[in-house]
Amino acid sequence: MSEILFASSNKNKFSEAKNILSKFGIKLKFLRCHLREIQSSDLEEIARDKAIQAFWLCSKPVIVEDDGLFINSLNGFPGPYSSFIFKTIGNKGILKLMSVQRSAVFRSVIAYCEEKEDVRLFSEDIFGKISKQELGKKWGFDPIFIPRGQSKTYSQLEKKNIISHRYLALRKFANWYLRKPLSSGP
């Protein structure tokens, strides 16, 4: 297996992805970069565009992960704008916007590109709810998202990386990648 680059400016995402994919025997290297994010309400479209940009940067097999927190009572907000919203109002701002209805979906989209314009997408949703306060100290929305069937936030869970939306999407990718025919060359 050749190494795959993980294109992102987020070291935390890379660390999680590296840890998850190592269990499948897939090695990741970090390609620290700031990719332009198109304005779209479709995570798949955003991830596809970023994967193509990343491939043009490195001309090597590359993964991009895009995710979003979709809160039902906020009509799916922040959705594909999750990163921007986290940077501007953070978890405390999200908690202030919440109503009694707290259900949410955390979605991850993995985009893999090893040839120009040829992108494979792997996505997964985890249903859950938004906690009433920040619980735990990890990054992103982990301190406020409680997956269905759990009583703790992602931040509080010891085994987040075996139930998370990112894990499940990466597992789909790994299962495909490990079974795909070897390419005949560049």
Q: Which phi and psi (to 5°) does residue 41 adopt?
A: -90, 5
Answer yes or no: are the C-beta atoms of 48 and 40 closer than 8 Å. Answer: no
Q: Is 118 a catalytic residue?
A: no
Answer yes or no: are the C-beta atoms of 63 and 4 closer than 8 Å. Answer: yes
Q: Which of 35, 129, 133 is nearest to 91 (CA)?
A: 133
Catalytic residue among 42, 49, 66, 118: 66
Amino acid at residue number 23: K
With b for 16 or more beta-carbon neighbours within 10 A and e for fewer, the 13-23 pattern comes to: bbebbeebbee
Amino acid at residue number 103: S
Amino acid at residue number 74: L
| Stated length of the chain | 186
User: For residues 1 and 163, what is the distance between their CA atoms, to the nearest angstrom?
Assistant: 25
**Catalytic residue IDs:** 66
